C-alpha cells in the first residue's frame, strides 16, 4: 500500500462505484479524503462513515462538477477544513444517451463536455496555485477504454473523454516544472451501477453473466482501478507523468462489450 500520510485528496464522484473504491483506497493508504458528490448525500455519508470506521479521515462535499460557482465554493471549503489539496482524482462523470451522430444535437455534446472536460479543467485551474506550493502534487483523470474503441452511439461520451485526455497530457507538460504529475487511468467495463446498465443495454447480460468471458474470469472491479490510482500517487511513480494506463486486462475475450 502507498504511504499517503499528510496528503489531502479530492475525489470527485466519490459516493459510489469507481469513485467510492478510489476514495476508500486512498484513505486506507493514509490520505485525508475530500469526497465530492453531486446529489446523493446519503451515499456520500455512507462512504465517509465506512472510511472513518476503518480509521481513516474523510469529509463529504456537495457540488456538481459542471457548476462553476458550486465548485469554487467547494474548493474554498476544503481548503478551510482540510488544507491544500495535493491529489486530485477527477472521476465524476455521466453517461451519454446512446444515440447515433445522425440523431444527436449539439446540446448533448456540450452536456458531456461540461461534465467530463470543462468542469474538471476549471477545478484543476482553481487547485493549481495550491498544488504548486507542495513538494509533490498529482492529478489523476479517470477516462475510459471507450476512447480507443469508439463504439456506435457513443460519440458524445467518447469525444468528451478524448478531450479530457488531450488536456491532461498538455497539463502534464505544463506543470511538471512545478512538481505536479498528471496521469490518465482508462478503465474498461467495471462492475458498478453504471457498468451494469451498460452491460444490460449493450449485451443484454448482467455483469455476473459476462464475468466468465473476461480475462482472469471476471469484469474489472472498482478496487482494480483504485489500486492503479494509488500507485500513480505513490513514490513508486515519482518519475511518471503524462501516462495513460488502461485497466481492462488487455481487453475482453468477448466482443459484446
Q: Kindly state whether residue 199 falls inside one of the protein's structural domains.
A: no
Q: Which positions are catalytic?
A: 157
Contact of 32 with 5, CB cutoff 8 Å:
no
Tens-digit pLDDT profile for residues 106-158: 999 999 999 999 999 999 999 999 999 999 999 999 999 999 999 999 999 99
Q: Kindly state whether residue 163 falls inside one of the protein's structural domains.
A: yes
Burial class (CB in 10 A: 0-12, 13-18, 19+), 80: exposed
Q: Kindly state whether residue 204 falls inside one of the protein's structural domains.
A: no
- Total domains in the fold of the chain: 1
For residue 257, the model assigns a pLDDT of 47
Q: Kindly state whether residue 103 falls inside one of the protein's structural domains.
A: yes
Confidence tier at 253 by pLDDT (50, 70, 90):
low
Q: How far apart, in whole angstroms, are the C-alpha atoms of residue 45 and residue 51?
A: 10
Provide mean pLDDT across the span 84-101.
Answer: 95
pTM of the model: 0.95
Tens-digit pLDDT profile for residues 181-216: 999 999 999 999 888 988 888 789 999 999 999 999
Q: Kindly state whether residue 203 falls inside one of the protein's structural domains.
A: no
- How many Cβ atoms sit within 10 Å of the Cβ of residue 38? 19
| Domain extent at residue 139 | 8-189+221-247
Amino acid at each position: 500500500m502507498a504511504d499517503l500520510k499528510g496528503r489531502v485528496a479530492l475525489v470527485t464522484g466519490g459516493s459510489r462505484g469507481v469513485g467510492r473504491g478510489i476514495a476508500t483506497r486512498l484513505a486506507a493508504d493514509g490520505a485525508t479524503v475530500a469526497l465530492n458528490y453531486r446529489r446523493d448525500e446519503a451515499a456520500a455519508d455512507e462512504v465517509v462513515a465506512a472510511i472513518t470506521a476503518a480509521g481513516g479521515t474523510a469529509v463529504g462535499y456537495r457540488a456538481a462538477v459542471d457548476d462553476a460557482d458550486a465548485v469554487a465554493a467547494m474548493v474554498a471549503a476544503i481548503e478551510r477544513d482540510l488544507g491544500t489539496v495535493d491529489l486530485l482524482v477527477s472521476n465524476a462523470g455521466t453517461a451519454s444517451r446512446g444515440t447515433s451522430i445522425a440523431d444527436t444535437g449539439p446540446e448533448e455534446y456540450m452536456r458531456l463536455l461540461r461534465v467530463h472536460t470543462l468542469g474538471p479543467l476549471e477545478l484543476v485551474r482553481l487547485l493549481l496555485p495550491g498544488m504548486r506550493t507542495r513538494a509533490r502534487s498529482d492529478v489523476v483523470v479517470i477516462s475510459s477504454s471507450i476512447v480507443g474503441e469508439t463504439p456506435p452511439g457513443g460519440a458524445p461520451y467518447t469525444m468528451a473523454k478524448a478531450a479530457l485526455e488531450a488536456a491532461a497530457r498538455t497539463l502534464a507538460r505544463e506543470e511538471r516544472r512545478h512538481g505536479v504529475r498528471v496521469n490518465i487511468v482508462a478503465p474498461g467495463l467495471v462492475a458498478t451501477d453504471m457498468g451494469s446498465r451498460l452491460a444490460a443495454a449493450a449485451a443484454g447480460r448482467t455483469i455476473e453473466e459476462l464475468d466468465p468471458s473476461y480475462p482472469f474470469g471476471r469484469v474489472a472491479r472498482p478496487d482494480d482501478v483504485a489500486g492503479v490510482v494509488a500507485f500513480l500517487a505513490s513514490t513508486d511513480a515519482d518519475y511518471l507523468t503524462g501516462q495513460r494506463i488502461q485497466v481492462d486486462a488487455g481487453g475482453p475475450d468477448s466482443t459484446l462489450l
